[in-house]
């Protein structure tokens, strides 16, 4: 057992043999520690879900009310078969956590997804000292560099006001868990509360129950007719572009809030009038700063630009390599 690394990749996901648990497993296992409730990290079929406590309502919403869960506050230590585990803020979405695993003096941290921005709407990322850091690298190439969110919000408000002056409704496309709360927070006090598409509303309601400082929003009910919505703001998931839903609305302009900016677009640009660079993930410099702040000498890189980012970390003197061997499939990105 002593020769096994504290965490290693298996076909079921990241495994701790010493504690007999997985982190964000991709196939059913008896005991799963979950960094956050995005669907590429929290899958169906686990015997037990252990997560930061604010993730639990969303895990239940998405995976079923009857799943077995244990919710822990940030920073509280628990022992699983003699291995200490704890959850620490990742700044990615509400309830998102880095998972610290320690055993016989050795400390590993699995980051999950993270954002190093301070002063956002959810608990800010905290560097956790460790020997080995497993980092994400969704935006792990130098061309990803975020503009200050407050400046992006100013552009967003100007776009909304311009649309309203021309009689257009503004539709901001954003994922229901994470981006929608980030956008709502940035627009708070600058425009009247936005309307929410149903799929965002139900996530928003659950999150407000555990995180009451989230902004108030308006449900997009049956009573919200075309006239009532003219010139207003609606937050909707990008999936509405493929549906008939847009046709039921008054004349509208569409914008996408995404980190996937120029040259990296994932959506059909002809249906999107504007893009706002806004991400739930760290940019290139954020990834480097976060990794260095852990003091880790070994780094394993997961999600995204794993080869490029680990190669860069090696030039900085770190022992870095992709977490998942190239012959195994990577989970999809979110």
**Which residues would be at the binding site for Zn ion (CB under 5 A)?**
38, 40, 113, 334
Q: What is the full DSSP assignment across 182-220?
A: HHHHHHTTTSSPPEE-HHHHHHHHHHHHH-TTSPP-EE-
Nearer to Zn ion, 95 or 231 (CB): 95
Nearer to Zn ion, 136 or 149 (CB): 136
Nearer to Zn ion, 29 or 94 (CB): 94
CB of 67 to Zn ion, least distance (A): 19
Q: What is the CA radius of gyration of the chain?
A: 20
Q: Measured in Å, how far apart are the chain's first and last C-alpha atoms?
A: 34
CB of 179 to Zn ion, least distance (A): 10
CB of 84 to Zn ion, least distance (A): 25
Nearer to Zn ion, 40 or 155 (CB): 40
Q: Which residues contact 275 (CB under 8 A, 6 or more apart)?
A: 255, 256, 257, 258, 261, 265
CB of 138 to Zn ion, least distance (A): 7
Q: Can you tell me which residue has the tokens 């569409």?
A: 254
Nearer to Zn ion, 40 or 126 (CB): 40
CA distance to 34, 157, 207, 281, per residue, from 218 (Å): 31, 18, 15, 27
Q: Could you tell me if 14 and 36 are in contact, meaning their C-beta atoms sit under 8 angstroms apart?
A: no
Question: What is the number of helices (H) and of strands (E) in the chain?
Answer: 7, 19
CB of 36 to Zn ion, least distance (A): 6
């Amino acid at each position: 057992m002593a020769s096994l690394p504290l965490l290693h990749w298996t076909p079921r996901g990241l495994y701790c043999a010493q504690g007999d648990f997985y982190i964000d497993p991709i196939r059913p296992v008896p005991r799963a520690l979950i960094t956050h409730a995005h669907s590429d990290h929290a899958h169906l079929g686990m015997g037990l879900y252990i997560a930061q406590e604010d993730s639990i309502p969303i895990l239940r919403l998405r995976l079923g009310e009857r799943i077995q869960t244990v919710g822990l506050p940030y920073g509280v230590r628990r022992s699983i078969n003699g291995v200490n585990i704890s959850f620490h803020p990742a700044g990615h979405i509400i309830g998102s956590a880095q998972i610290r695993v320690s055993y016989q003096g050795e400390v590993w941290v699995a980051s999950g997804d993270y954002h190093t921005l301070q002063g956002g709407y959810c608990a800010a990322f905290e560097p956790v000292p460790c020997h080995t850091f497993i980092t994400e690298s969704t935006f792990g190439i130098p061309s990803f560099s975020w503009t200050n969110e407050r400046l992006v919000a100013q552009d967003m408000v100007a776009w909304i006001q311009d649309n309203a002056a021309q009689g257009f409704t503004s539709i901001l496309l954003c994922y229901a868990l994470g981006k929608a709360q980030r956008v709502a927070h940035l627009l708070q006090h600058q425009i009247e509360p936005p309307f929410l598409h149903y799929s965002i509303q139900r996530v928003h309601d659950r999150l407000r129950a555990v995180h009451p400082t989230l902004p108030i929003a308006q449900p997009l009910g049956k009573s919200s007719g075309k006239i009532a919505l003219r010139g207003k703001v609606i937050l909707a998931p990008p999936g509405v572009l493929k549906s008939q839903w847009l046709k039921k609305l008054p004349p509208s302009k569409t914008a996408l809030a995404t980190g996937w900016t120029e040259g990296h677009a994932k959506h059909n640009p002809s249906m999107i009038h504007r893009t706002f660079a806004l991400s739930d993930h760290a940019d290139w410099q954020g990834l480097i700063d976060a990794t260095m702040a852990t003091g880790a000498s070994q780094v394993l890189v997961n999600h995204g630009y794993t080869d490029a980012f680990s190669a860069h970390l090696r030039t900085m003197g770190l022992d870095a390599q992709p977490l998942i061997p190239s012959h195994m499939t990577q989970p999809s990105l979110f």
